[in-house]
Every structure is written in structure tokens, then in C-alpha cells.
Amino acid sequence: MLGNWLKTSMLMAAILALFGAVGALVGGKSGMLLALLFGGAMNVFAYWFSDSMVLKMYSAREVDEGSAPQFYAMIRELVQRAGLPMPKVYLIDEAQPNAFATGRNPEHAAVAATTGILQLLPAREIRGVMAHELAHVRHRDILISTISATMAGAISALANFAVFFGGRDSEGRPSNPLAGVMVALLAPLAASLIQMAISRAREFEADRGGAEICGDPNALADALTRIDAYARGVPMAPAEAHPETAQMMIINPLSGSGIAGLFSTHPPTEERVARLRSLARA
């Protein structure tokens, strides 16, 4: 828990420093002050509202016992096994099979699954997937994961800030050469920050924790094998539009082309499955 709080604090401090540095380069002291104010506001917003922002990006709809009785009951049973408070439960109307957890702590958490995963997997495997997501909640991975996604978007806003305040010449090109350079570099920088903040080891730990919660490591292994094969051929438009959120998913939802490929933070599915099979044998 302390490690995740430290990572979160360092990420937010790094973003604030980056905003200040770019503001100073583009607009001097006044530019730095404006950028620092914007960066500080983004930090506050990310902590309190990044989860709802991510859910909105995916047009997630909240469900309950009345609208999704079987799925909701499954989550409630797993929550009791995990010793967690009941999170909010969401469905995403997307054909790609996938799922994620978000929120700032176990008391303010949400789990979401696509309708595609509910249609593809048998109940036993869905249970393994959702247990994995609840393991992220129990390990308190969700804060750094959700904030990093929001902050990557903030870096894109920083690029716009550089262009806007750098000014443009009569032909519409940035008059400040630094602005053009920043636009070219900030997207890869955002990806690098996420990869530094989000360790691939957390997926292995969530797999192990999910197997413990559901009591069936092979269920999660079977689910990962199946959804990885399907996800490769079924695009998810919200993830492609917001590649910084891809690291939140149980399986990488991106096609891997262009800038989107920079945001891949998932370990190989084959290695995850092998570890789960070993755990089941043990």
C-alpha cells in the first residue's frame, strides 16, 4: 500500500514539475505560474474524479441486482470472499472481451466488464476474471492505475498549452520552435511515465490474488487464453481513442499500431497462464 502511495505521489509531483518547466520555457515566469496552476488543478481532479472520467470514456453504465442479477450476485460473492466493501458494478457495451477496476481506494472502487466478455466466457471463467479485478482493488493498485491514465491525458493538454502559448506565424505554424518539439515528444513521454509508474509485476500479483479469491487458478488461466485470442481480432474504439487507459484492462485492448503501441504495459499472456497453471498444480 505504501509503495503505491509513494508511486502516486511521485507521479503527481513529476507531472507538476513538467507543467512548470514547459510553462517557463514557453511563457517565462507568467507561463510557469499558469502551467503550475493548471497542473495542480489536474492533480486534484485526477485524485477525486479520474475514476468517473475513465468510466465515462467507455460509456459504462452502472448495474445492480435488478438490471444484471447474475453478474451482480457473482461480484457480491467474490467481494465477500475477498473481504472487501461492495464496489459499484458497471457494464460496457463493447464486443471486445475485457474488464477493469478503477477508483481511489477499496471504499470508493468500481469494477467494469464488457458485454463481450459476458457473452464469450462461461460463468466459471467470468468469475476468475472479476476475481482478478477485485485483487487489484485489494492490492490498492487502482489509484495509481487510474491517475496515471488521467495524467497521460493531461500531458496531451500540455502539448496544446505549448502550441497555444507559443504562438503561430502567418502560415499557422508554431512561432516558438520549442512548441513543435514538445508536441512531437510529449506522447511518448506520457507512455514512458505510465510504464515507469505501472509495473507489469502487478498483473502477476493480481492473477495470483484473483486465483486465491475465486479458488480456481485454472478458471482465470482459461479465461486469459480465450479472451486474448478474441481481443486481438475485435477492436475497442474507446481504448484506441484513449490508449493511456489500456493498462487498466485485464488484457491489452490495443491494436499495437502507432502511438497506441507505446502504452502496452501487459506481460505476455502465455507467461501469465503458465504461472496460473503452476499455481493450480501446487
Mean pLDDT to the nearest integer, 152-169:
61
Domain encompassing residue 128: 2-281
As for how many domains the chain has, the answer is 1
* Beta carbons of 114 and 91 less than 8 angstroms apart: yes
pLDDT at 233 (0 to 100): 86
Is the pLDDT at 164 greater than 80? The verdict is no
Q: Which residue has the higher pLDDT, 244 or 57?
A: 57
Query: Alpha helices of the chain — where are they, by DSSP H?
Result: 2-57, 69-82, 115-120, 123-138, 142-166, 177-197, 201-214, 217-231, 237-241, 269-281
Cα distances from 159 to residues 22, 41, 84, 164, in angstroms, run 9, 17, 40, 9
Is the pLDDT at 138 greater than 90? The verdict is yes
Burial of 75 from C-beta contacts in 10 A (0-12 / 13-18 / 19+): buried
Q: Which residue has the higher pLDDT, 9 or 116?
A: 116
- Which secondary structure element, helix H or strand E, spans residue 97, and what is its range? none
pLDDT in tens, 79-111: 999 999 999 999 999 999 999 999 989 999 999
- Which secondary structure element, helix H or strand E, spans residue 165, and what is its range? helix 142-166
pLDDT cut 70: percent of the chain above it: 74
Q: Return the residue matching grid coordinates 465477500.
A: 80
- Least trusted range by pLDDT, from 29-38, 96-105, 176-185: 176-185
Is the pLDDT at 169 greater than 50? The verdict is no
Burial of 258 from C-beta contacts in 10 A (0-12 / 13-18 / 19+): exposed
Q: How far apart are CA 218 and CA 131, in angstroms?
A: 13
Question: Which residue type, as a one-letter code, is found at position 260?
Answer: A
pLDDT at 170 (0 to 100): 47
Q: Return the residue matching grid coordinates 503458465.
A: 274
Instruction: Give the cell for residue 215.
Output: 479458488
Q: How far apart are CA 114 and CA 120, in angstroms?
A: 10
pLDDT at 197 (0 to 100): 55
Q: Which residue has the higher pLDDT, 106 or 155?
A: 106
Instruction: Give the cell for residue 210.
Output: 484473483
Whether this model's pTM surpasses 0.75: yes
Task: Indicate which residue of 94, 125, 133, 203 is catalytic.
Answer: 133
- Least trusted range by pLDDT, from 78-87, 118-127, 191-200: 191-200
Nearest to 204 by CA among 262, 278, 107, 125: 278
**Does residue 240 carry a catalytic annotation?**
no
Mapped onto helix, strand or coil, the DSSP state of residue 198 is coil
Q: What is the DSSP letter of 19?
A: H
Mean pLDDT to the nearest integer, 116-131:
98
- Least trusted range by pLDDT, from 42-51, 97-106, 254-263: 254-263
In the structure, what pLDDT confidence band is assigned to residue 14 with cuts at 50, 70 and 90? Answer: confident
pLDDT at 155 (0 to 100): 67
Cα distances from 248 to residues 43, 92, 197, 264, in angstroms, run 19, 14, 12, 10
Q: Which residue has the higher pLDDT, 124 or 50?
A: 124
**Cβ count within 10 A of residue 257:** 8
